[in-house]
């Protein structure tokens, strides 16, 4: 049983190394410091609104696609794979829209880290969607969950920088 467990943990360790190597970040930069002007706060508020305008619909689509995957993963390989490809398309669309927002430098670095992590997740999702069996499809679960957790951490971080509450669901 130990070899199977180590085989399962290897992709998780690989993902963690990828993320740690290219996407580590320090404590959030204060975008609304006591010395920031009213126009800075308005600007951050409008950036937060722009972020939510892309994040909320993307989150809704992802919820539907994740549910479709969960409903099919154990018995309908083709439908599960289709749901995963839809997830990847939604994630890529979100990344394109997020990259189009002009953030101040401190928030821009967080946005770029979020995009990098999401790109890793997209590649993983597409690799999972190419599985040739339900067993192979399900073998990605731990790694996919680790990718989701890393992305959720970056989402909480950027939302904090934009003065937004944490996401309702994770």
Q: Where are the domains of the chain?
A: 40-161
Strands, E, within 82-137: which ranges?
A: none
Question: Which long-range contacts does 130-134 make (Cβ < 8 Å, 24+ apart)?
Answer: 130/81, 131/77, 131/81, 133/77, 134/73, 134/74, 134/75, 134/77, 134/80
Best CA proximity match to 144, nearest among 65, 26, 79: 65
With H, G, I as helix, E, B as strand and everything else as coil, classify residue 82. helix
Read off the pLDDT of each residue in 64-85 and give the average, rounded to a whole number. Answer: 98
Q: How far apart are CA 69 and CA 73, in angstroms?
A: 6
Residue 35 pLDDT grade (very low, low, confident, very high; cuts 50, 70, 90): very low
Rg (CA), the chain: 18
**38-52, 88-102, 153-167: which range is least confident on average?**
38-52
Residue 41 pLDDT grade (very low, low, confident, very high; cuts 50, 70, 90): low
Which pTM does this prediction carry?
Answer: 0.77
């Amino acid at each position: 049983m130990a070899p199977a467990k180590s085989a399962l943990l290897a992709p998780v360790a690989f993902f963690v190394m990828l993320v740690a190597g290219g996407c580590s970040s320090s404590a959030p930069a204060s975008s609304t410091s006591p010395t920031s002007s009213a126009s800075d706060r308005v600007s951050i508020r409008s950036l937060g609104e722009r972020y939510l305008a892309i994040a909320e619909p993307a989150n809704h689509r992802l919820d539907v696609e994740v549910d479709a995957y969960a409903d099919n993963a154990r018995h309908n390989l083709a439908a599960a794979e289709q749901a995963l490809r839809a997830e990847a398309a939604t994630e890529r669309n979100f990344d394109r829209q997020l990259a189009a927002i002009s953030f101040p430098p401190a928030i821009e670095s967080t946005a770029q880290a979020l995009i990098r992590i999401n790109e890793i997740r997209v590649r993983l999702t597409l690799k999972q969607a190419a599985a040739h069996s339900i067993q192979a499809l399900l073998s990605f679960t731990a790694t996919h969950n680790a990718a989701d957790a890393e992305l959720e951490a970056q989402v909480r971080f950027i939302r904090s920088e934009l003065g937004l509450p944490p996401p309702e669901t994770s």
